[in-house]
Structure 1
Amino acid sequence: MRTALVPGLCALLLLSAGTASASAADATRPQPYAFTPGARAVAGAASAGTAERLDPGHTYRSSLPRNGKLYYRLDLTAADTAYVPVTAVPPPGTTVSATDGIKVSVRDAHGTPCSFASARFGAGLSARPVTALGQREAGRTVCQGVGTYYVLVQRLDAEGSGTAATAQRWDLEIAPVTEPRPARAGATSAPRTWDSATPEPLTGAPRDRSGGTGFASAGPLGQGVWRTALVPGETRFYKVPVDWGRQLHASVELDGAQGHGYVGGALNLSVYNPVRGYVEDAAVGYTGTRKPAVLAPLPPVEYANRYAAPAAVTSVRFAGDYYLVLHLSEQMTGLFGQGPFGVTLRVRVAGQAHTGPQYAGRPVPGDVFTLTQQEREAALPGSPGGGGGGGDRVMKLVAIGGIGLGTVLLAVLAGWTVAARRAQTRVSAQKPTA
């Protein structure tokens, strides 16, 4: 047994040393966007007549050329509202202006637009994943009835921002969703009153939570104070379960750093709803001094919010996972170094939960507007936020103790060896004597 353990132990220690070295190197560069595993490849068409079909409930990968436009096809019933979020991912090192980005629209078979939405990089002047949502709403005055509809995706490139990097194609992630009508007609106007006061920021010791690098890998959070670190150009995704009747509040703070100058939009916090539709954002202009950015108050989640005019109200129209997306501008490097920079995220979920509308059919995918009991509990104060667990606790002990991963593995293996010897001793003691 001892002979078998030694080579395995050496291999594990070598692996841990290599992992630590790779982790140190990775910490100095932004992590790429993590596309949904198993996403289907789809080629956008230059015209509507040759567009490939998108099926709700599936996620797709495509790519968009500069100064180009691409069409995709949707086959919809008369009763379903369709949401088509498109996330554009520029290559690393892309030079962008504040007004560069993408535009997404849904059109009927006659070319009549049902909706327009755009997403731009903003004051941070930093390439990052940006998401725009196209939609066809059932029951409105245009784009009604069963039939074929088209999704049009276009680049928004400002004059003078073209470089070798911006000339490259941008990867796309497309994740269409459909929502059925409610079984019974309800209010057709948005709630008139709701608590729009900004609450006091949560206090307490923050808990580490690194987040994901895409919508599909978003790190789960509940109410609480959370901590991470970002390098310039990096984007992190989190998701917070928000039930019907509950209200999401969030703020973010960027630690102080050595350096001089000013970076506009240095740290951006954006909120997206369960179909990846833009809700609201806030940004930190940075001079090296610790500074917070607070999201404007959002209304409680209600079905009737869809009848409101402001985007920050109409987009908070269903329960489910709401995404918090952090991005640290690449412009930080020139004035304040390569980081990483500490970031604190404060999340509050207020209000009384209640049951939502009964749909006449099933959304696609079926769980997009549904929360499990475990997810509801994860949003409560003091919860672990749906993530972490034993792995986080072990790594926290490693960090606090200042010991290496190889030492931890050695201790674990030693424990296994002792346990195996004790078990062998007990078996030997139980054997009958001759």
Structure 2
Amino acid sequence: MGKRRVTGAGAAALAGLCASAVLSGPAVAVGQAEDAGEAPPTYAVAEDATPVEGTASSSGGPELRPGLSTDSIGPGEERFYSVTLDDTSTVYLSATAAPRPGAEVRSFGEKLSMRLLTVEGDACDTAGSATFGTTSAYPVSGYAARRVGGGIEVCQEAGPYLFQVVRESPEESDQARWPIEIGYHVEPGLEGAVPGPPGVSGGEEPKAPTPPSGTARQARGGTGFNDAGAVADGVWRDGVRAGESRFYRVPVDWGQQLFARLEVPNAAVDGDGAAGFVSDAFSLRLYNPARAALSDSDFETYSGEQAAMSLAGGAVDYGNRFADEGRGRSIAGWHYLQVTFHRDMAAHFPDGADVTLRVTVDGAAREAPAYVSDALPAGFGVTDEDREAAEQGLTAAEAVARRDGGLRLLAYGAFGTGTALLLGLGAWWLVGRRRPVAPGAPPVGAGQGYGYPPQGYGPPGTR
């Protein structure tokens, strides 16, 4: 059987179809409210996360590398991991717990905590924890950090350290093992002096801008940080089911502040009247790029009437990491909104509810800190591509596919153009070979500096 040839145009068309398939796939996979007959989806761990197995002993814990790792943790357990730090970078080690959606937990006495320790057993200055604001489980996350500069004296040396994750769980809570996703985020040091905390104005809190209005665009929330759909300034709508959490990502640059409001519609009332009162019905939380919560885990009540809750993220400033409060508001990049429904919301919305998100990124972007690396540190800062992805509502995977697909299309296009040019040049030469030659005339191409190549490598008579 002869080989089938694919022209440059055909390859480009094929690449376009492949790119379209890649980009359209996740849009179909993300569930909406009409899928409410199924159980809420569980947290989607990053596909490139490295499986590890933490140890109960502080000796011999697996070595973590920058990026994401996965493990599990049981009630009352503590897990240890090894990390090797330099003496210039700020490092964030996050732990995200992913219990079964809607599982039984407690708002008091239930906690996932993280510490970064020296091998001598001394704790670094920034520990973290993650708690639940209700009895219906959902993904929670926090981090421990090694800050550099700002007068901090502990944990400044290069060398081996330990990362500890502890789960506290009352007996009446869910006793299943929980998957945990561990993030190792490295932020390079700065050139020159490290800025201190921003000054305190002593005036009134800045007034929140008027929430955006207009026609809502379709948002596509994910199960967690890895598959969160992007949202930008404006009004967005998505479906949420009882017991479910949906994540959205928003690019917030240096000097900018995120404001968001979640609106839950009124519930349909049947002949028996209202479905009852839910004390911890729904919540809206905010996380920074290193996966630490920037807002409380409070839940709003719901009784069947239209309800809402709002949050303000605070301006992103590098020096906030050295302030007494708001340390997490010191990283620019993708911030994450988490919308959660208590499992008891099924009484009001058995088929899920279409909720509204009003998002505002306020303030002009400021210049990034002078990192020692010229390249934008991974996960820190905002690019034009990020803003475009937010406007289009893309997940991280879709944004990468679109970028790589564009590069492939460009390459295929260049290949097709080059192929067409070579074919044209070859045809030109063949025509020249067949052209009648007058008696006594020199061969075509002779005396023009190119000779007369026997295989015909170019159009005759050209320079």
TM-score by length of 2: 0.72
With 212-221 and 184-193 compared, the bigger mean Cα shift is at: 184-193
Structure 2 counterpart of 1:161: 172
| Amino acid in structure 2 at the alignment position of 1:210 | R
How far does the alpha carbon of each residue in 1:3-37 deviate from its partner, in whole angstroms, 9 at most, with x for none? xxxxxxxxxxxxxxxx99x9855654211111101
1:387–1:129 Cα change, 3 Å: closer
Alignment of 1:70-219 (within 5 A): 70-92=79-101, 94-99=103-108, 100-114=110-124, 115-123=126-134, 125-139=135-149, 140-158=152-170, 160-162=171-173, 166-193=174-201, 196-219=206-229
Structure 2 counterpart of 1:67: 76
Matched, 1:351 2:363: yes
Matched, 1:340 2:349: no
**Aligned pair partner of 1:278 in 277, 293, 296:** 293
Structure 1 counterpart of 2:343: 330
Structure 2 counterpart of 1:265: 280
1:93–1:324 Cα change, 3 Å: closer
Q: Is the 8 A contact 2:101 2:244 kept in 1?
A: no
How far does the alpha carbon of each residue in 1:36-79 deviate from its partner, in whole angstroms, 9 at most, with x for none? 012111001011111001111x2111000111111011100111
Which segments of 5 or more consecutive residues in structure 2 lack a partner in the other structure?
A: 1-27, 397-463
Matched, 1:375 2:404: no
Q: CA deviation at 1:116?
A: 2.2
| Amino acid in structure 2 at the alignment position of 1:122 | G
**Aligned pair partner of 2:334 in 321, 324, 332:** 321
Q: CA deviation at 1:223?
A: 0.3
Q: Is the 8 A contact 1:28 1:339 kept in 2?
A: no
| Amino acid in structure 2 at the alignment position of 1:356 | A
How far does the alpha carbon of each residue in 1:177-229 deviate from its partner, in whole angstroms, 9 at most, with x for none? 11122112143122424962122222112111121112111101110110011
Structure 1 counterpart of 2:7: none
Q: Is the 8 A contact 2:230 2:392 kept in 1?
A: no
Number of residues of Structure 1 aligned to a counterpart in Structure 2: 356
How far does the alpha carbon of each residue in 1:258-313 deviate from its partner, in whole angstroms, 9 at most, with x for none? 33322223111111111111111453211111111011x33221111112212xx2
Q: CA deviation at 1:375?
A: 2.1
Matched, 1:288 2:300: no
Q: CA deviation at 1:156?
A: 1.8
Alignment of 1:225-264 (within 5 A): 225-257=235-267, 258=269, 259-264=274-279
Q: Is the 8 A contact 1:223 1:385 kept in 2?
A: no
Q: Is the 8 A contact 2:251 2:335 kept in 1?
A: yes
Q: CA deviation at 1:80?
A: 1.5
Q: Is the 8 A contact 2:368 2:381 kept in 1?
A: no
Which segments of 5 or more consecutive residues in structure 1 lack a partner in the other structure?
A: 1-18, 389-434
Q: CA deviation at 1:141?
A: 2.2
Q: CA deviation at 1:112?
A: 1.0
Q: CA deviation at 1:351?
A: 0.6
Structure 2 counterpart of 1:298: 313
Q: Is the 8 A contact 1:28 1:340 kept in 2?
A: no
CA distance in 2, matches of 1:25, 1:246: 36
- Greater gyration radius: 2
| Amino acid in structure 2 at the alignment position of 1:241 | P
Q: Is the 8 A contact 1:27 1:340 kept in 2?
A: no
| Amino acid in structure 1 at the alignment position of 2:358 | R
| Amino acid in structure 2 at the alignment position of 1:118 | S
Instruction: Name the SS for the 2:299 alignment partner.
Output: strand
CA distance in 2, matches of 1:307, 1:39: 31
Q: Is the 8 A contact 2:261 2:358 kept in 1?
A: yes
1:190–1:161 Cα change, 3 Å: farther
CA distance in 2, matches of 1:129, 1:377: 28
| Amino acid in structure 2 at the alignment position of 1:177 | H
Provide the identity percentage. Answer: 33
CA distance in 1, matches of 2:114, 2:249: 24
With 114-123 and 64-73 compared, the bigger mean Cα shift is at: 114-123
| Amino acid in structure 2 at the alignment position of 1:256 | N
Structure 2 counterpart of 1:425: none
Q: CA deviation at 1:241?
A: 0.6
1:237–1:130 Cα change, 3 Å: same
CA distance in 1, matches of 2:395, 2:35: 25
Instruction: Name the SS for the 1:176 alignment partner.
Output: strand
TM-score by length of 1: 0.77
Q: CA deviation at 1:385?
A: 4.2
